[in-house]
Amino acid sequence: MMCPYSKTADGFEMQFGVNHLGHFLLTLLLMDLLKKSAPSRIIILSSMAHSWGTIKLDDINSERSYHSRRAYGQSKLANILCVRSLAKRLKVTLNAGECLQNKLLSLIHRSDSICCPPRHRSH
């Protein structure tokens, strides 16, 4: 998150490649299987950081100008645009905007004891 400039092995800006493109490709590769094994789910997370970025199609890899915060925002905005696109194409969807952040955070904190050994717990 908001790392120094680097690229994936495929040549994409690291945050865009890791936060969006990898998940997007995996979703596409699994789409037929997901449809056949319904009910199934595609869960794509983003954050308020999407407001930090724009999709710069003429400099998608931030080669001309790199700002880690904007690059991170671009990757999160791409996640939101992907969700919107999938929602148009798939019959049964839950708009990610329906998921309340506080409820998700509450769930994460309650599952902290399951996910983290005692020395790493946040409370």
Cα–Cα distance between 26 and 42 in angstroms, integer? 10
Contact 62, 71 (CB under 8 A): yes
Residue 58: count of CB within 10 angstroms of its CB: 5
- Give kind and range of the element (H or E) at residue 53: none
- Helix ranges (H only) for the chain are 14-16, 22-36, 68-89, 101-110, 112-115
Dihedral angle at the C-alpha atoms of 21, 24, 29, 33, nearest 10 degrees? 160
- Catalytic positions are 72
Residue range 9-23, pLDDT digits in tens: 999 999 999 999 999
Domain ranges of the chain: 14-97
* 7: helix, strand or coil: strand
Average pLDDT of the chain, as a whole number = 79
Residue range 24-72, pLDDT digits in tens: 999 999 999 988 988 888 888 778 888 888 898 999 999 999 999 999 9
pTM higher than 0.85, yes or no?
no
